[in-house]
Structure 1
Amino acid sequence: MEASLSEQRLHFFRQQIGKVINDSPSNFMNWLAPEMIKAEHGVLVCKYTIRKEMTNPYQILHGGVTAGIIDDLIGATIYVMGLNDRYTTVNNYIDYFAPAAEGDEIIAETSVVKRGKTILNLQCEVFLPSKKRLIARGYSNMLNIG
């Protein structure tokens, strides 16, 4: 029996657990170079090491990179769900709470908030575990474009 698309994609990400991802279908994810921590249907958890090129002039994590982590991991979460349709980001809403610096390791975790017929709403929380601090929380509405 052939595995479903969801099972195939989930299997790919589960094989990455404990490894730095560098062969994702997302080129941006490959650049971010996260380490996969957990992969479940509707939930992904990754660890990122903040590199110099991810920081702003104040040497802290650039807000755009934080937004990119959130958007990319939310997209990967939908990808892992194995939906036959394609989805695109309608909007991102991000609250920034605390900084992270070069060399810090941060954790990002996604979850599905609501699954409608045409819109999926997901969230991603980004933490600095060494200080037990929430760095950012983002929500995204994803539109089914067929």
Structure 2
Amino acid sequence: MNEKIYRLFQSQVGSKLTNGPSKAVNWLEGTLLEVGEKHVIVRYTVTENMCNPGRILHGGVASLMLDEVIGMANVIASEEYLMSSINLNVDFLSSAKIGENLTVKATLIRSGSNLNHWECVIRKDSGKIVAKATSNMLKTHVRLADIGF
């Protein structure tokens, strides 16, 4: 774990994520709820711009939420180098409508020297699962310090 990055994210708990390095995260306008050494939780509210023509959460946007929360958590879990997604396997289990609040939790399942394995779940306030994912992140040669962390 990168202690400096962990403290940075801890200082953001309770804040809207609208001014970070990822334009996608900024667009989603989530609120960082919790940061741990091996997990991150973010809350999103479904907006009309996040929906498909059926007025339910678009699968691509759900995938973006999952990928971004895993990415945030992985930056914290990484010690020196940026890691990049090599896959994102998503199961869509129920719909979410405009105005519904969603909690997205990424949890580190296995940490290796070159590969981290994550699980991530989107839940409604009722506890019902909207989508779940697994992802593997591979170490790159890009130092976190070189990209502003």
Provide TM-score, normalisation by structure 2.
0.89
Query: Residue 111 of structure 1: CA displacement?
Result: 0.6
Q: Does 1:84 align with 2:88?
A: no
CA distance in structure 1 between the partners assigned to 2:5 and 2:18 by the alignment: 15
Tell me by how many angstroms 1:94 deviates: 0.7
C-alpha distance in 1 between matches for 2:65 and 2:24: 9
Ranges in structure 1 where 5+ consecutive residues have no aligned partner: none
Query: 1:140 and 1:22 mapped to 2: Cα distance?
Result: 24
1:94 paired residue number:
90
Partner of 2:121 in structure 1? 125
1:8 deviates by 2.0
- 2:139 equivalent in structure 1: 144
Other structure's SS at 1:86 match: strand
Bigger CA drift: 98-107 or 75-84?
75-84
Question: 2:61 aligned to 51, 56, 65, which one?
Answer: 65
Question: Do the aligned partners of 1:9 and 1:82 also contact (CA within 8 Å) in 2?
Answer: no
CA contact (8 A) 2:115 2:138 kept: yes
Checking the alignment, whether the CA contact within 8 Å between 2:39 and 2:73 is kept in structure 1 is: yes
Q: Distance in 1 between matches of 2:2 and 2:78?
A: 4
Task: Name the counterpart of 1:55.
Answer: 51
> Superposition RMSD on alpha carbons, in Å?
1.3
1:118, distance to aligned residue in structure 2 (A): 1.7
Could you list the runs of 5+ residues in structure 2 that have no partner in the other structure?
142-149
Tell me: CA distance 1:80–1:145, structure 2 relative to 1, closer, same or farther (3 Å).
same
Q: Deviation at 1:7?
A: 2.1
Question: Per the alignment, in what secondary structure is the counterpart of residue 79 of structure 2?
Answer: coil
1:21 aligns with 2:17: yes
Q: Percent identity?
A: 24
Distance of 2:36 and 2:72 partners within structure 1: 11
Number of corresponding residues: 141
Tell me how far apart the structure 2 counterparts of residues 112 and 132 of structure 1 sit (CA, whole Å).
Answer: 21
